[in-house]
């Protein structure tokens, strides 16, 4: 294989993430999308950027601090990456707020949905807001005057704060001139006025506006010269030495509060903040000008995400839909899920098809007297979960319940700790996976006594056991009682809960053992077939493509004559369409109503048409630092479904598809007239109507 060590055949990860957020922002710019949905996309960009700064930018800054000489596959030094990221992020944020102020807020106002500025409040509104302030806000506010005995507070990660400039002396004769007011997280960031006060059904006021108007009430007898909202983003990686701790859950419980107090990586301030105050805040947070973002509006757009849910305007939202069911699950009202799985493997395509059968599978298992054991992995499941309630009920009734809870699922650690505690309290076996490897595989197994012997039933999927995200993310899930597949899943559970060498699996590819090697073999087999003059084809869909060896293998396959189509929602380090390197490779990204989350890998394989599903992207962490499974679709009718619904329709999409060039730039495909095809809308029409077998 050609040595690609110089690095230029690889694109940069951080810049790729910024490019992805530009594609998300394009959804907010799209005037064909309902207005409240455009507002949501605007908020999603802010949420994505928060995590990007908390993790990726924080990592860059740490590398810069220790002056690491290590180059990534792209060959760019961390300092150079940070400089480009800062430039791109500033431009992205500027466009985001321009869109908010010039299109979305005015558009909502025309629809009777208003965010009232202080200058527009009438007397009745001003009086209602004043009463609200004294009743709901002032009792929980704690102003901190800065002086020798009150240093600058360590403001929490992503919290809303106000820097207040004052003149005069307080009761003790102090006159520091500056105070900090932190808005507690329990306070709503957007307050809805009563219809008779707001002058319409949907009139809102930002918490920041209320505090601005009444901040003087916190400093009796002093004159407020200025009040400026600001927000600090901090490094949010958890630092737990898994080799040293005796109880990972207890260690994490002690570490989680520190997440809010990591080193600052970004400062956001409102547009009214003067330069001297901005410089003061930067100095206190130990940040430089490149870390400074001055915005024209609220410093935390993420908290506006909840507003559309409070507005009953279906005409300003995506049309509702009822998820469908495969015909095999429509035959009985009180369905026996185990009987149906025995008849045939069952494939579910979320959110077009319902997640309820997955919940029903575990609920039925929890009450079925013939079920003797349940095993499941939990990565993300939410704070209110019917599935977890079913597992608790099963354990409470005396069934053997084993749950592998991933405590290090980023930003879901607290919910998972709580579920682990509740499961342990009712006698479930709770394990936390393998030290140094996150358990990311999505699998559940039920063991049932039938006709004097034990039979295993398995659900494996590409997405989390999370009912809420199952209505927002595209994922596949498979029910099967295939003995060999079930034996493979059981083997993986045995590895996670016990000790011993990894056994050979018949159908599953598993990280960190066989997945990477099997993937390289599958790609290499297509290359060899192409060289031999046989048909060869690869189609793959995933969230991210970064692992260098896989990229090299794809380049080699392209050179051998294999046509390769990649559907990569987020970051892609591979350069497509480069002469002599990747001219037979295309890369596209689909960004639409639903978050594309399924991972699908298709290989022509000499006419066998091998199709695998997984929760793993083609990234170093998924191949080498996580417990992942990649499972095959064995039945021909289900292979056809995955190929049709999961891949081919996306390759034909000309409405939500973005095509990537060799420099990492994306161009939106757009065809008007009768040839328009939006993959997500087509799947909604087909599957939500429950036509698929």
Name the 3-class secondary structure at 614.
Answer: strand
524-563 CB burial, b ≥16 within 10 A, e <16: ebbbebbeeeeebbbbbbbbbbbbbbbbbbbbbbbbbbbb
Residue 212 is a catalytic residue:
no
| Tokens coding 237 | 């990686």
Question: What's the CA gap between 416 and 177, in Å, rounded?
Answer: 44
SS3 state of residue 313: coil
CA 460 vs CA 348, 478, 615: distances in Å: 11, 5, 9
Q: Which of 106, 97, 100, 62 is nearest to 81 (CA)?
A: 62
CA distances from 76 to 10, 15, 105, 289 (A): 10, 11, 40, 22
In the block, tokens 């929760």 appear at 615
| DSSP state for residue 581 in the 8-state scheme | T
Catalytic residue among 440, 459, 597, 604: 440
Structure tokens at 98: 């321009």
How many other CB atoms sit within 10 Å of the CB of residue 138?
A: 13
The SS3 assignment for 447 reads strand
Hunting for tokens 């002056």 — which residue is that? 67
Give how far Cα 625 sits from Cα of 430, 435, 535, 620, Å: 21, 10, 34, 7
Residue 272's alpha-carbon distances to 148, 261, 400, in angstroms, are 27, 26, 60
Residue (of 655, 688, 652) closest to 32 by Cα position: 655
Integer angstrom CA distances of residue 125 from 129, 131, 197: 6, 10, 6
Alpha carbon separation from 40 to 20, 53, 316, 323, 628 (Å, rounded): 16, 20, 12, 22, 32
**DSSP assigned state of 408:** T
- Which residues are tagged catalytic? 440
């Amino acid at each position: 294989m050609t040595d690609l060590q110089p690095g230029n055949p690889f694109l940069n990860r951080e810049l790729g993430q910024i490019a992805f957020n530009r594609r998300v922002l394009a959804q907010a710019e799209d005037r064909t999308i309902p207005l409240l949905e455009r507002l949501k996309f605007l908020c999603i960009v802010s949420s994505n950027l928060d995590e990007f700064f908390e993790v990726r930018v924080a990592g860059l800054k740490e590398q810069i601090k220790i002056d690491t000489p290590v180059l990534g596959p792209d060959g760019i030094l961390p300092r150079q990456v940070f400089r480009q990221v800062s430039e791109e992020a500033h431009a992205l944020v500027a466009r985001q707020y321009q869109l908010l102020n010039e299109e979305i807020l005015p558009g909502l106002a025309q629809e009777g949905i208003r965010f009232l500025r202080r200058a527009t409040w009438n007397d009745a509104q001003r009086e209602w807001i004043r009463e609200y302030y004294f009743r709901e806000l002032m009792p929980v506010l704690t102003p901190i005057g800065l002086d020798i005995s009150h240093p600058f507070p360590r403001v929490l990660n992503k919290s809303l704060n106000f820097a207040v400039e004052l003149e005069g002396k307080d009761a003790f004769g102090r006159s520091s001139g500056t105070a900090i007011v932190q808005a507690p997280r329990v306070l709503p960031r957007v307050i809805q006025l009563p219809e008779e006060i707001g002058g319409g059904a949907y009139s809102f006021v930002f918490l920041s506006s209320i505090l601005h108007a009444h901040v003087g009430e916190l400093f009796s007898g002093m004159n407020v010269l200025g009040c400026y909202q600001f927000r600090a983003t901090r490094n949010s990686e958890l630092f737990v030495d898994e080799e040293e701790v005796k109880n990972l859950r207890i260690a994490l419980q002690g570490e989680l509060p520190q997440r809010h107090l990591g080193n600052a990586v970004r400062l956001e301030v409102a547009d009214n903040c003067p330069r001297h105050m901005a410089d003061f805040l930067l100095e206190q947070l130990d940040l430089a000008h490149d870390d400074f973002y001055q915005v024209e509006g609220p410093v935390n757009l993420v908290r506006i995400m909840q507003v559309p849910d409070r507005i009953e305007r279906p005409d300003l939202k995506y049309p509702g839909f009822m998820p469908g069911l495969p015909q095999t699950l429509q035959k009985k009202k009180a369905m026996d899920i185990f009987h149906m799985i025995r008849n045939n493997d069952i494939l579910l395509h979320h959110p077009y098809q319902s997640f309820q059968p997955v919940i029903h599978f575990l609920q039925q298992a929890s009450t079925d007297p013939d079920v003797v054991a349940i095993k499941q992995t939990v990565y993300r499941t939410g704070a209110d979960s019917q599935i977890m309630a079913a597992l608790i009920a099963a354990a409470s009734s005396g069934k053997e319940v084993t749950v592998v809870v991933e405590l290090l699922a980023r930003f879901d650690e607290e919910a998972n700790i709580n579920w682990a505690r509740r499961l342990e309290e009712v006698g479930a076996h709770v394990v936390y996976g393998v030290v140094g490897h996150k358990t990311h595989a999505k699998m559940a197994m039920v063991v049932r006594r039938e006709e004097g012997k034990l039979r295993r039933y398995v659900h494996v999927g590409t997405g989390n056991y999370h009912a809420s995200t199952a209505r927002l993310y595209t994922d596949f899930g498979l029910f099967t009682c295939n003995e060999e597949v079930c034996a493979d899943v059981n083997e993986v559970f045995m590895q996670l809960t016990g000790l011993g060498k990894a056994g050979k699996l018949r159908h599953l590819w598993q990280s960190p053992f066989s997945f990477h090697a099997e993937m390289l073999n599958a790609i290499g087999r297509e290359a060899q077939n192409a060289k031999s003059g046989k048909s060869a084809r690869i189609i793959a869909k995933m969230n991210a493509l970064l692992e260098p060896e896989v990229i090299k293998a794809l380049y080699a396959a392209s050179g051998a004559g294999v046509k390769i189509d990649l559907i990569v929602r987020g970051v892609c380090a591979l350069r497509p369409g480069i002469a002599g390197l990747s001219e037979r490779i295309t890369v596209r990204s689909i960004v639409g109503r639903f978050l594309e989350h399924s991972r699908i890998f298709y290989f022509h394989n000499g006419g066998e048409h091998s199709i695998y599903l997984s929760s793993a992207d083609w990234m170093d962490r998924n191949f080498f630092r996580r417990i992942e499974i990649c499972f095959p679709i064995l039945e021909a009718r289900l292979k056809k479904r995955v190929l049709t619904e999961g891949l081919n329709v996306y390759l034909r999409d000309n409405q939500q598809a973005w095509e990537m060039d060799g420099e990492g730039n994306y161009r939106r495909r757009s065809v008007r007239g009768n040839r328009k095809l939006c993959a997500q809308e087509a799947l909604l029409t087909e599957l939500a109507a429950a036509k698929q077998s």
